[in-house]
A = this chain, B = another copy of it.
Amino acid sequence: MLSTSGMMSTMSASKGGRSAYHHGDLRNALVEAATELARGDGPEAVVLREAARRVGVSATAAYRHFANQADLLQAVKVRGQRELADSMQRGVEAAPGGGDKQQAARDRLWQIGRGYVRFALAEPGLYRAAFCRVPHVSDHPWDEGQPDAAEHGEEYRSFDMLVETLDGMEAAGVMRPGVREGAEFAAWSAVHGLVMLILDGPLSRLPEPVRDAVIDRTIGTVVAGLTREPVRS
């Protein structure tokens, strides 16, 4: 009953409900188009008029589904977060997973980290959109107050995966004593910062091999900072 997917009250349109005037699934179509814009050139490329243009609809039609272009951007953000989490999920599932339990717990942190960075570098525009500042989502009546309770409702699933991983490390007894609390933020900060410095910042011109080494070094530092023993490369 939230405002998530196209679930308008009385409306037959769901599959072929397009009558050349009433699109039938405009909201999703717009989010789709806007997402492609972000994928191409980041959040600043998410321009409402262009998204509408691509869907073949007038610009103002978008205002039937979004309060703002900020609101549209917010939708793109959510999609970006989802794609990030999905990508990481696939990466983790396709992992070897052998060896002893303790090593596995450590390895999982590595995999999570590498999966995170891999997605960001593969989809720079979308990643930047997923973490961009969204100016101000003006609240419309149908936009029932932003979900403030529940901390973050389903978005930031990538963060949840990180939390689970760290819990697993603690359970396996590989974690340095007393560092569990807040470790998720430390780890997240490191990979997010690394990605941002590479994407927008001063590390953008690093030659690829150096870049990859830096990535491993950064993740390695975090792992070393959180675990009891130093880890092999």
Show the binding face of A for B, using Cβ within 8 Å: 42, 44, 128, 131-133, 135, 152, 156, 159, 176, 179, 181-183, 185-197, 199-203, 213-214, 217-218, 220-226, 230
- Knowing A42-B133, A133-B42 are in contact, say whether A203-B221 is a contact too (CB < 8 A): no
Quote the shortest CB–CB distance from A76 to chain B (angstroms).
15
Integer count of this chain's copies in the complex: 2
Once the chains are docked, how many angstroms separate the CA of A176 from the CA of B226? 14
Once the chains are docked, how many angstroms separate the CA of A194 from the CA of B230? 24
Establish whether residues B156 and A202, one from each chain, have CB atoms under 8 Å apart when the complex forms.
Answer: yes
Establish whether residues A189 and B218, one from each chain, have CB atoms under 8 Å apart when the complex forms.
Answer: yes
- Knowing A179-B221, A183-B221 are in contact, say whether A200-B132 is a contact too (CB < 8 A): yes
Tell which of A182, A183, A186, A214 has the most Cβ of chain B within 10 Å.
Answer: A186
Once the chains are docked, how many angstroms separate the CA of A225 from the CA of B217? 10
Residues of B within 8 A of A42 (CB): 133
Residues of B within 8 A of A224 (CB): 176, 179, 224-226
- The 14 listed contacts between A and B (C-beta, < 8 Å) are A44-B135, A128-B133, A176-B224, A179-B221, A181-B217, A182-B214, A185-B197, A185-B203, A186-B190, A187-B221, A190-B222, A220-B225, A224-B225, A225-B225
